Amino acid sequence: MIIKKKDTVLVLAGKDKGKKGEVKSVNPSKNTVVVTGINMISKHVKPSQNKQGGIIKMEAALDASNVAVVCAKCKKAMTPKVQIAADGTKTRVCRKCNEPII
């Protein structure tokens, strides 16, 4: 999976199309990502011994194909390419400006 935790991403499809956010968690087996402040849902929670019940707002998972990584240098959304160095290490590189994505 090319998208990693703490990447800044742009939402390409859905109700939050055009919004940017930071990746909170990644699930490679389901090919989904959770982005902070994006795809908010209301969840009804029952009260327990030490927690109050009610309706809470939380982020739901998005499919990884519906987000694109934003380059920190050129500020453009794209799918990064993976470059393999001579010593075998892989780095993600911006397709627009060829800068490594940290």
pLDDT string in tens for the chain (102-residue length): 899 999 999 999 999 999 999 999 999 999 999 999 999 999 999 999 999 999 999 999 999 999 999 999 999 999 999 999 999 999 999 999 999 997
Greatest CA separation for the chain: 57
> What is the reported pLDDT for 1?
86
pTM: 0.85
Quote the CA–CA distance of 79 and 71 in Å, as a whole number: 10
> What is the reported pLDDT for 102?
78
Is 67 strand, coil or helix? strand
Give CA angle at 76 (72, 77), nearest 5°: 100
Quote the CA–CA distance of 15 and 33 in Å, as a whole number: 16
What is the signed CA dihedral for 53, 57, 62, 67, rounded to 10 degrees? -160
